[in-house]
A = this chain, B = another copy of it.
Amino acid sequence: MNCIFGIDIGGTEIKIGKFHYDKLLLKTSIKTDVSDQGKRILADVFNKIDELSQGDNIVGIGVGVPGPVVKGVVNGCQNLGWGIVEAEAIIKERYPDARVRVLNDANVAAIGEMAAGSAQKYRDFVMVTLGTGIGGGIVINGEVYEGATGAGGEIGHIQILNAKQRRCNCGKFDCFEKYASATGLVTTALELMQGRETKLHDLEVSSKNIFDLAKTGDEVALAAVNQMVDVLAGTLGNIAAALNPEAFVIGGGVSKAGSFLLDKLVAKFREVAFYPVADTEFVLASLGNDAGIYGAAYVARK
């Protein structure tokens, strides 16, 4: 039987899916060994592939990595300890008969949603991953847009001009993700709750708790969510003015707030966006943590 491996390498674990065409046969994960500049990571992956293939004919291997990638070459990957790694060539050398593709993890997640998730009807869309930070994947004509140096889709580092309040890890101030990620929402709530009555004083101030309280009408929690939505709608409106995608696909941990978040976001977006792009569609991502393996398998198949 022909099989394809879809692999999503993260900083703590590596998810591996074995596919027959587009059907996921099994999935598993191994720990990411980041010691010694992560030099055993690919060998560990190869061992697991060999174990799982069980004599099946490996026709494709797709891999997502948490760093910039241009044409199969990883251009530095802090979470793995990698510098420049010619990952696609290394994998191809070990599996010469397989179609091999290596892409950025946010980009394969976007492709995963197109292949098997909620973006199946789109070919031009932007995936927005709202987690600790904000990641992005731009899909144009059904293909990942990597950018000139692999930084395509790094929308979390769009700067909110004229603000100058919150310093980002990237060294600049007021990046999008300092306001509209889970972390940004928490920062806003911590600012707003000073001296005001809110159930947040009795709870851990987490993104989930803020959303849960906002749903019950807690004024401070609601104000924090609304500020997040304002920045999210404004910035996605700006991305839409430049890129005019068919849709935004909203994923990541924060997207678990579901329709409460999405309804607010869509309403605000319709209000603030440039009129020719104000009808851009919005959907919630549906594959969660499996988007990467689906996307990786897809790019190795096409």
Which residues of the other chain, B, contact A149 by a CB distance below 8 angstroms? 244, 276-277, 279
**Which residues from chain B contact A163 at a C-beta distance below 8 Å?**
161-162
A150 within 8 A of B: yes
Which residues of A, 132-168, contact B by the 8 Å Cβ criterion? 136, 138, 140, 145-155, 157-163
- How near does chain B come to A98, taking the closest CB pair, in angstroms? 25
How many Å lie between the Cα of A170 and that of B163 in the bound state? 24
Interface size class of A (residues with CB under 8 A): 35 or more
Given contacts A140-B140, A275-B171, contact A158 B241 (CB under 8 A): yes
How many copies of the polypeptide does the oligomer hold? 2
Whether A32 is near chain B, meaning CB under 8 Å from some CB there, is no
Q: Tell me, yes or no, whether A26 is within 8 Å of chain B by CB.
A: no
Q: Is the CB of B245 within 8 A of A147?
A: yes
A181 within 8 A of B: no
- A242 adjacent to chain B (CB < 8 Å): yes
Interface string of A57-73 (1 = CB under 8 A from B): 00000000000100000
Segment of A14-22, A232-240, A282-290, A291-299 in the binding face: A232-240
The residue on B at minimum CB distance from A153 is B242
Closest 4 pairs (CB-CB, A-B): A147-B244, A157-B274, A151-B276, A151-B244
